[in-house]
Amino acid sequence: MRVLILAAGMGTRMKSKYPKVMHKLMGKELLNWVIDTAKKLNPSKIAVVLGHKSEMVEQILTEDIEIYYQKEQLGTGHAVMSAKDFINNEDILILYGDTPLITEETLNKLVNKHMETNADATVLTTILDNPKGYGRIIKNENGKLIDIIEEADTTEEQRNIKEINSGFVIYKGEKLLYGLSKIKPNNNQGEYYLTDVPKNLNYVETYVLEDFTEVLGINNRVQLAEAEKIMRKRTLNKLMLNGVTIVDPESTYISPDVEIGQDTIIYPMTIIFGNTRIGEECEIGPMTRIVNCEIGDFVKIIRSECEDAKIENNVSIGPYSRLRTGTYLKENVKIGNFVETKKTIINKNSKAQHLTYLGDATIGEDVNIGAGTITCNYDGINKHKTYIGNRVFVGSNTALVAPVDIQDDVLIGAGSTITENIPKGSLALGRAKQITKENWVYKKREKGE
Ligand code: UD1
Ligand code: CA
């Protein structure tokens, strides 16, 4: 089976500089939701039809997606004709790029019915209380589909039909080519309708979907927000039914691709997006944002930001920590208040609990990073590395001027500015010697100064 996704339309009703299919739902473009769902069906190939501002849409596509161009948007039938070379004897599933809530399960059922019945085409339909704006399904007395009529072309009687065309249809490739050759733009919109193909075929089946929310098309930003709400609720329910506690679903945003293990608790006002995996028995939130992270078991993250980070078991983060790209925290690490990390590996049992910046650093096991420690990794032109060995104690308010190499078992006095490498087992002090003048204050006072 091949999949062809139509995404050439302008999306006028979005009132946007960007093509409709580039707008995001849960951090991912509408078109990429459809593509990622299509990929789960393991088709032999996936192609998209692009038109309006195609050079922008191309930027969000992965290389395995074939692209066809529809220069003028003359209708959905015309869009498919623009990808004629993509159609062969294989079955072909047509999807619309503005319908991101469709699930793999539903598409599989559609495909299975199509194969079992050996139909020329199988149309995914659903029943809507308010079918306004959708194409209506016309069936004969035996319940067989004979036509699809677009809203603009319906008679008053047809407008009352509640069964609608989702736009998702699977065809036998050669039947689609035949049907396309028959369609003409003689309708109220002067377009080549893809929906005119079925009436030209001998045997068309329908698969009627119960959960109509899956086929909601997004044409404006109100519908975009509704889709976000539906996708969010669906995702949270699935997680909760699989053993994740979500204390306040109303204020929790988790995208459907995220995986979370049993008995993990998600506290309010937490956002978890992207390619993220979280293990079992973790406590996440409140007020935490996690994007593209791999997180082990028994991890605690409170009021923090984590992006592109790897976090092993039993790590504790926050409140108010910020893990940036390339952070890797191994088992039992503790990152505390106002600590920022970037491109930094921290090995087992080490701690940085207060007011610290660690960038481009490798830190050993059982290290204590004192409050206010800063890796000075940037000299204004280049970034440099800091290396800290095992069992090092860095005193509070230390500046580590990179590149610098601090070996095992070193002790650095508080307030030091370290500019030179330190051999193992040493005490290092890099600060002005303290001067104390006894009774100096009292003498001044006696003189009345
Ligand atoms: C279409 C269907 C309608 C169905 C509805 C479901 C047709 C004629 N109508 O109507 O029966 O109920 O979807 O949501 O197919 N596109 C192109 N090139 C074009 C026109 C559209 O690529 O020339 C793409 C759009 O980018 C969009 C998709 O096709 O992703 C659907 O187009 P849209 O204009 O939104 O169709 P609807 O009026 O919603
Ligand atoms: Ca639409």
Domain co-membership, 141 together with 16: yes
With the C-alpha atoms ordered 161, 163, 168, 170, is the resulting torsion angle positive or negative? negative
Nearest CA to 264 out of 250, 251, 277, 253 is that of 277
Relative to the CA of 193, which ligand 1 atom is closest?
Answer: 8
Relative to the CA of 78, which ligand 1 atom is closest?
Answer: 23
The confidence score (pLDDT) of residue 269 equals 98
User: Which CATH number characterizes residue 210's domain?
Assistant: 3.90.550.10
Whether residue 359 has pLDDT greater than 90: yes
State the residue for tokens 């019915």.
Answer: 113
- Spatial separation of the C-alpha atoms in residues 230 and 26, rounded to whole Å: 11
Domain co-membership, 152 together with 293: no
- Spatial separation of the C-alpha atoms in residues 387 and 118, rounded to whole Å: 66
- Spatial separation of the C-alpha atoms in residues 199 and 148, rounded to whole Å: 8
- Within 10 angstroms of residue 25's Cβ, the number of other Cβ atoms is 21
Whether residue 393 has pLDDT greater than 90: yes
Domain co-membership, 370 together with 333: yes
Residue 165 in contact with ligand 1 by CB distance below 6 A: yes
- Cis amide leading into 131 (omega within 30): no
Ligand 1 centroid to 348 CA: how many Å?
Answer: 55
Please count the structural domains in the chain.
2
Structural domain contains residue 225: yes
pLDDT band at residue 137 using 50, 70 and 90 as cut-offs: very high
Query: Is residue 95 within 8 Å of residue 2, measured between CB atoms?
Result: no
Domain co-membership, 166 together with 297: no
User: Which CATH number characterizes residue 261's domain?
Assistant: 2.160.10.10
- Spatial separation of the C-alpha atoms in residues 280 and 297, rounded to whole Å: 5
- Spatial separation of the C-alpha atoms in residues 378 and 404, rounded to whole Å: 12
The confidence score (pLDDT) of residue 424 equals 98
Structural domain contains residue 243: yes
- Spatial separation of the C-alpha atoms in residues 140 and 118, rounded to whole Å: 20
> Which tens digit of pLDDT belongs to each residue from 396-425?
999 999 999 999 999 999 999 999 999 999
Structural domain contains residue 304: yes
CA 356 vs. chain centroid, Å, equals: 29
Task: Classify residue 431 by its DSSP letter.
Answer: S
pLDDT band at residue 349 using 50, 70 and 90 as cut-offs: very high
> Which tens digit of pLDDT belongs to each residue from 62-118?
999 999 999 999 999 999 999 999 999 999 999 999 999 999 999 999 999 999 999
The confidence score (pLDDT) of residue 10 equals 84
Residue 198 in contact with ligand 1 by CB distance below 6 A: no
Domain co-membership, 204 together with 227: no
Whether residue 270 has pLDDT greater than 90: yes
114 is catalytic: no
Structural domain contains residue 114: yes
Termini Cα distance of the chain: 94
Last residue of a domain, one of 182, 215, 248: 215
- Within 10 angstroms of residue 300's Cβ, the number of other Cβ atoms is 17
Token output for 279: 């293990």
Domain holding 337, by residue range, is: 221-428
- Spatial separation of the C-alpha atoms in residues 92 and 45, rounded to whole Å: 10
The confidence score (pLDDT) of residue 449 equals 78
Domain co-membership, 77 together with 113: yes
Relative to the CA of 9, which ligand 1 atom is closest?
Answer: 26
Last residue of a domain, one of 185, 215, 245: 215
Query: Is residue 395 within 8 Å of residue 370, measured between CB atoms?
Result: yes
- DSSP strands (E only) in 274-407: 277-278, 283-284, 289-291, 294-295, 300-301, 305-307, 309-311, 316-317, 321-323, 327-329, 334-346, 351-363, 368-369, 374-376, 386-388, 393-394, 399-401, 404-406
- Spatial separation of the C-alpha atoms in residues 340 and 337, rounded to whole Å: 9
The confidence score (pLDDT) of residue 206 equals 97
Residue 131 in contact with ligand 1 by CB distance below 6 A: no
> Which tens digit of pLDDT belongs to each residue from 144-176?
999 999 999 999 999 999 999 999 999 999 999
Domain co-membership, 297 together with 156: no
- Spatial separation of the C-alpha atoms in residues 238 and 231, rounded to whole Å: 11
Average pLDDT of 37-41?
97
Structural domain contains residue 447: no
Structural domain contains residue 12: yes
The confidence score (pLDDT) of residue 378 equals 96
Domain co-membership, 77 together with 176: yes
Task: Classify residue 256 by its DSSP letter.
Answer: T
Tell me if residue 114 falls in helix, strand or coil.
helix
Last residue of a domain, one of 215, 247, 266: 215
Structural domain contains residue 446: no
- Spatial separation of the C-alpha atoms in residues 93 and 5, rounded to whole Å: 8
Token output for 181: 């050759």
Task: Classify residue 378 by its DSSP letter.
Answer: B
How distant, in Å, are the alpha carbons of 70, 75, 224 from that of 51?
5, 11, 21
Domain co-membership, 190 together with 261: no
- Spatial separation of the C-alpha atoms in residues 400 and 418, rounded to whole Å: 5
Structural domain contains residue 50: yes
pLDDT band at residue 27 using 50, 70 and 90 as cut-offs: confident
Domain co-membership, 254 together with 130: no
> Which tens digit of pLDDT belongs to each residue from 182-235?
999 999 999 999 999 999 999 999 999 999 999 999 999 999 999 999 999 999
- Please choose from 16, 96, 183 the residue to mutate so as to test ligand 1's pocket, defined by most ligand atoms within 8 A of CB: 96
> Which tens digit of pLDDT belongs to each residue from 47-59?
999 999 999 999 9
- Spatial separation of the C-alpha atoms in residues 37 and 232, rounded to whole Å: 16
Query: Is residue 112 within 8 Å of residue 1, measured between CB atoms?
Result: no
Ligand 2 centroid to 166 CA: how many Å?
Answer: 9
- Spatial separation of the C-alpha atoms in residues 102 and 99, rounded to whole Å: 7
Ligand 1 centroid to 302 CA: how many Å?
Answer: 45
Top pLDDT among 9 and 397 is at 397
Residue 70 in contact with ligand 1 by CB distance below 6 A: yes
Domain co-membership, 92 together with 155: yes
Query: Is residue 263 within 8 Å of residue 283, measured between CB atoms?
Result: no
Q: What is the mean pLDDT of the chain?
A: 97
Domain co-membership, 208 together with 229: no
- Spatial separation of the C-alpha atoms in residues 61 and 32, rounded to whole Å: 8
